[in-house]
Amino acid sequence: MQLSLDEIQKVAQIAFYVTLAVVTVLTFLRAKKGLLSNVNTEYHKKVIERLDTLSKALLDEYDLDSPNHWSKHLLAGDAVRKINKQFLASKEAILREGKFEPEYQPTRTTSDSLVCCSGSSLIHLFRKKAGKRP
């Protein structure tokens, strides 16, 4: 039995399509177990909701009409007032020792928190908010 070039091409093409169909079915079955499962879908839904919340909070900081606009927070003024209060409370000890180290921790805004977060810590944050273990 001798096959012509046309027949060899048709057999190769049929083998290619059969292999492609098998790979497609196996890929779908694997995705159905993993990515398309209800648990992962719910997790992704929670992540998207949290991203929406963070996005709105971040936009509020740059919206001039928002009460959360960054220019409406006087963080430097608050810091100076708290440091002055600490200084006045222990003025004699500071003057005696000649050293003053204020115990003031500046407040972080949403954008500061986002800038400081890496991808893995954001995922940890989302899982924590969604009630899942990291």
Matching residue, tokens 């936009």: 59
User: Which is nearest to 76 in space by CA: 116, 112, 107, 113?
Assistant: 107
Is there a domain that residue 5 lies in?
Answer: yes
Structural domain that includes position 1? 1-36
Distance CA 131, CA 74 (A): 34
Is there a domain that residue 115 lies in?
Answer: no
Q: Considering the entire predicted model, what is its pTM? A: 0.34
Q: What is the pLDDT of residue 67?
A: 80
Is there a domain that residue 16 lies in?
Answer: yes
In this model, does residue 114 exceed pLDDT 50? no
User: Quick one: how far is CA 21 from the chain centroid?
Assistant: 37
In this model, does residue 79 exceed pLDDT 60? yes
pLDDT tens digits, one per residue of 22-77? 999 999 888 877 766 666 778 888 999 999 999 988 888 888 888 877 766 666 67
Is there a domain that residue 7 lies in?
Answer: yes
Is there a domain that residue 128 lies in?
Answer: no
Is there a domain that residue 17 lies in?
Answer: yes
In this model, does residue 110 exceed pLDDT 50? no
Q: What is the mean pLDDT of the chain?
A: 75
Q: What is the pLDDT of residue 127?
A: 44
In this model, does residue 104 exceed pLDDT 70? no
Is there a domain that residue 23 lies in?
Answer: yes
Q: Which amino acid is at 12?
A: A
* Total of domains in the chain: 1
Is there a domain that residue 21 lies in?
Answer: yes
